[in-house]
């Protein structure tokens, strides 16, 4: 299969893929991210935890260029995403895929078309190439028999697995996951998390994940970043953060959610 441009030169495993330098984001007088510095190495799975409102989703939205920072720089695979000319932003943006809380599938398209649309229109894949890849991905998320279904005919968990396949169809270097199980009925959560565990194990994609599923975070993360009021107040391996946190706020947060 032809490799789309976005992953033509994947960074060496372990090289820095995402970097935030001194990033500040305000909404009016509310400083949501406060001179934030952090980086994510290629191929790693990093989970952002912390109280509601601490700025985790804002980080993902900045990477998706749905928001712009007020100050600072954001770099992806060595190229600046902000500040940068529009053309560069579009190119860098292709390296990033995101799965949202609310699936956001196109309701008027079949499952297959939901997955092939962007690879055809944005990456320029032929319809056949895009469909072959979409079928592989649907197989991977356990929905090979749902190609022709409409999103409304699927359960929330199935829709979210389609959304994961759709994000991966763009062959991003990094997958952003924003509380992807929060909108699901409890019995559907495990199926989606199993698919993500499988992707974390079997691919070299970098993952940046906001989740309240602490067991999942413990399983897949190489590194956990604990946020409070727009800053990273503690970071480390899941063993360190979940078993032996140093910061009082981390301890308080974990005792409330675990």
Query: CB–CB of 234/242 below 8 Å?
Result: no
Query: CB–CB of 180/102 below 8 Å?
Result: no
> Of 205-234, which residues contact ligand ADP (CB under 6 A)?
210
In whole angstroms, the minimum distance from the beta carbon of 51 to ligand ADP comes to 7
Q: Is residue 58 part of the contact set for ligand ADP (CB under 6 A)?
A: yes
Query: Which residue in the set 19, 56, 95, 146 belongs to the binding site for ligand ADP (CB under 6 A)?
Result: 56
How far apart are alpha carbons 132 and 62 in whole angstroms? 32
Task: Decide whether 242 or 253 has the Cβ nearer to ligand ADP.
Answer: 253
How far apart are alpha carbons 76 and 57 in whole angstroms? 18
Query: CB–CB of 78/132 below 8 Å?
Result: no
In whole angstroms, the minimum distance from the beta carbon of 250 to ligand ADP comes to 14
Contacts of 100 (CB under 8 A, 6+ apart): 163, 178, 180
Binding mask 98-137 for ligand ADP (x = CB under 6 A): ----------------------------------------
Task: Decide whether 201 or 212 has the Cβ nearer to ligand ADP.
Answer: 212
Q: Is residue 152 part of the contact set for ligand ADP (CB under 6 A)?
A: no
Query: Which residue in the set 2, 13, 15, 27 belongs to the binding site for ligand ADP (CB under 6 A)?
Result: 27
- 247: nearest Cα among 51, 53, 59, 57: 51
Phi, psi of 165 (to 5 degrees): -60, -40
Going by DSSP bridges, is the β-strand pair 71-76/16-27 parallel, antiparallel, or unpaired?
A: antiparallel
Q: Is residue 199 part of the contact set for ligand ADP (CB under 6 A)?
A: no
What is the helix (H) or strand (E) element at residue 39, kind and residue range?
Answer: strand 30-41
Query: CB–CB of 171/7 below 8 Å?
Result: yes
In whole angstroms, the minimum distance from the beta carbon of 153 to ligand ADP comes to 31
Q: Is residue 57 part of the contact set for ligand ADP (CB under 6 A)?
A: yes
Query: Which residue in the set 4, 10, 43, 55 belongs to the binding site for ligand ADP (CB under 6 A)?
Result: 55
Q: Is residue 47 part of the contact set for ligand ADP (CB under 6 A)?
A: no
Going by DSSP bridges, is the β-strand pair 45-49/96-99 parallel, antiparallel, or unpaired?
A: unpaired
Residue 192: how many CA atoms within 13 Å on its side-chain side?
A: 29
Q: Is residue 53 part of the contact set for ligand ADP (CB under 6 A)?
A: yes
How far apart are alpha carbons 103 and 70 in whole angstroms? 28
In whole angstroms, the minimum distance from the beta carbon of 47 to ligand ADP comes to 13
- Choose the binding region for ligand ADP from 50-58, 115-123, 125-133, 160-168 (rule: CB under 6 A): 50-58
Q: Is residue 166 part of the contact set for ligand ADP (CB under 6 A)?
A: no
Positions in the binding site for ligand ADP (CB under 6 A): 27, 30, 32, 50, 52-58, 210
């Amino acid at each position: 299969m032809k490799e789309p441009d976005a992953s033509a030169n994947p960074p060496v495993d372990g090289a820095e893929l995402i970097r935030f330098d001194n990033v500040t984001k305000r909404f009016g007088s509310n400083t949501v991210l406060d001179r934030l510095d952090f980086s994510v190495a290629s191929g790693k799975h990093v989970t952002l935890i912390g109280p509601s409102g601490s700025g985790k989703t804002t980080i993902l939205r900045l990477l998706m260029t749905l928001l712009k920072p007020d100050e600072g720089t954001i770099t992806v695979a060595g190229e600046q995403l902000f500040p940068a000319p529009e053309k560069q932003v579009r190119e860098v943006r292709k390296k990033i895929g995101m799965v949202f809380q609310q699936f956001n599938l196109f309701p008027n398209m079949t499952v297959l078309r939901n997955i092939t649309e962007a690879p055809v229109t944005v990456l320029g894949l032929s319809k056949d190439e895009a469909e072959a890849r979409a079928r592989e991905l649907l197989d991977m998320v356990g929905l090979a028999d749902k190609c022709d279904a409409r999103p409304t005919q699927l359960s929330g968990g199935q829709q979210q697995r389609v959304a994961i396949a759709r994000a991966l169809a763009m062959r991003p270097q990094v997958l952003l996951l924003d509380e992807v199980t929060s909108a699901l009925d409890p019995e559907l959560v495990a199926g989606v998390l199993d698919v993500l565990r499988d992707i974390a194990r079997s691919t070299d994609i970098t993952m940046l994940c906001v989740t309240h599923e602490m067991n999942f975070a413990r399983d897949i993360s190489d590194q956990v970043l604990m946020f409070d009021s727009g800053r990273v107040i503690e970071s480390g391996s899941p063993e360190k953060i979940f078993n032996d946190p140093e910061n009082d706020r981390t301890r308080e947060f974990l005792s409330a959610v675990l």
